[in-house]
Every structure is written in C-alpha cells, then in structure tokens.
Amino acid sequence: MNVGNICNRKVIFADVGINLLDASKLMREHHVGSIIVTQRETGGDRPLGIITDRDLVVEVMAEEIEPQNVTLKDAMTRHPLIAYESDDCYEVLERMREKGVRRIPVVNSEGFLVGVLAIDDILRMMFHEMGNLVSLVKKEYETEVRLRTAV
C-alpha cells in the first residue's frame, strides 16, 4: 500500500513567519501535535520544516523564551523527512524508524504538500491488515470443515 492511501489529507500548515504563540494556538484549535511549516509557491505549498508540541515545550517553554518573540522559521526542524504519495508504507515506516520521527509531510510528485503521515495512520493500516489476515484464516478453516466433513 502506498502512503497516499493512508495519510491524513487535512494538514495544518503555516508560513515560516508566524510566531510560536500563534502556532500553538493553531495546534490547540485543530487538536494536532504538529504543524508543517511551508513556503507558498505557484502550484502549492512546499514543506520547509515541521514543528511539534514537544519542540514548543522543550525548546521554548523550558528555556523560558517568550513564544511570541520566536517565529516558526527560528524553531522548526528544517529539511524534515518527507514521503511521496507513491512511496510504499513499509519503506517509509523504516525511514521513519531510522530517523526516530513519528510524523512526516507527504508531497506530490512536484514536491507540494498534500498530507501528513503519522505513526497512528500506519498503525490503523496494520490493524486493518491484521483483521484481513484473521478473516482469511477463519474463512480457510470454515472452507476446510465444509469440504472435508462427511455428509
């Protein structure tokens, strides 16, 4: 299965120039733990970075920095790991594991933002696949009983 089939297409993104206080309000308003930081271009929004709720706490609040005085550009993780819509989910999961990241921007073939892939999305896909396997095993058993039982 490819990333485009399971990623979340409702992406919360913001321009590099907004301050962290406004970014945190966006996270709260939309009930998300990250914002994809983008740059508007002809054709779409290109991901430049990502900022997470953990970044806000560990890098800003714990350092007693005023969030309204810092922009996303200053605090974001630059050049985030990205996935293309056509990438295989399991290959992307491996890249995420290697980098130790839980969510990544998903882009189209032109590199414009179309979604975000989180570990939660992959877990839901795997849960669905496990359900299919359980159904297959059950169906195989039922078929075996039906065909091999003496009438």
In tens, the pLDDT along 96-116 reads 999 999 999 999 999 999 999
Residues 6+ apart with CB under 8 A from 48: 16, 37, 38, 39, 76, 78, 79
**What would the two tokens of residue 42 be?**
């002809």
CATH code, 13? 3.10.580.10
Residue 59 lies in a domain: yes
Residue numbers of the domain that contains 114: 3-118
Residue 69 lies in a domain: yes
Confidence of residue 150 (pLDDT cuts 50, 70, 90): low
Above 90 in pLDDT, residue 27? yes
Residue 66 lies in a domain: yes
49-71 pLDDT per residue, tens: 999 999 999 988 888 889 999 99
Residue 128 lies in a domain: no
Number of domains in the chain: 1
* CB 145 within 8 Å of CB 63: no
Above 70 in pLDDT, residue 6? yes
pTM equals 0.83
Could you tell me which residues are beta bridge partners of residue 39? 46
